[in-house]
Amino acid sequence: MPKKQLFALIVCSAALAGTGALAGVTQVPTDAEQQSATAQGNVEEAAIRRVLEQFHTTKVPIGQAMAIAEGLHDGSRTADISFEISGPPVYRVRTIKNERVFENVIDANTGRVSQREIASSLKELDRADLANIIALKWIKQELSDAVRVAESAADGQALAGGLMKQDGKLNFVVVIATSDHLKEVMLEPPKVGQRSTQR
């Protein structure tokens, strides 16, 4: 099946760094507020630069990390994955199989599982996570498919991804690292319930 049919919509949004404080139209910010917003923006930019520097030196791509985590439980699917640098760079991967959720930490340089697995029941998840994981059961596409499409569309490498409901629509959201910034790519899977026999 061509990639165009896999996903109905690809939207590349602005860089994630633009999340600083915004003043209301009728409010004139004080000098202290402007300095605070500028400082917050500088901190965010520095954090993003640090993430990019760490990510660009890793040896294990996100697709391989997902495959490693899925291989720990045959037949499992990746629900979400994120790149983290609080210590050595790792991918935190949540996979699902039947009514179980497995969280594993994969070393981004060696591909080894670097922490003890956390297993839980779907019943232990909060409402938003549970809704996303239940929705994933009915979607034929895998997160790895979304990652490949997003990487091609945004011309970079994925460092995080998952399923998310936004404005009433269920989307795969993939964060892409380019040479100097992050992009968020949203992909809408085909509508749930569409049958492959219908053309």
What is the distance between the alpha carbons of residues 55 and 182, in angstroms, rounded to a whole number? 11
Mean pLDDT score of the chain: 79
Residue 9, SS3 per DSSP: strand
Q: Starting at the earlier edge strand, list the strands of the sheet with 182-188.
A: 9-12, 182-188, 169-177, 157-166, 77-84, 90-97, 100-107, 118-121
Q: How confident is the model over 116-147, as pLDDT tens digits?
A: 999 999 889 888 888 888 888 888 889 999 99
Q: CA 174: distance to chain centroid?
A: 4
* Domain ranges for the chain: 56-187
pLDDT, residue 140, reads 84
What is the distance between the alpha carbons of residues 55 and 24, in angstroms, rounded to a whole number? 36
Task: Judge if pTM exceeds 0.85.
Answer: no
Q: Which residues of the chain have pLDDT under 50?
A: 1-28, 194-199
Q: Is domain 56-187 annotated with CATH 3.10.450.40? A: yes
pLDDT, residue 30, reads 55
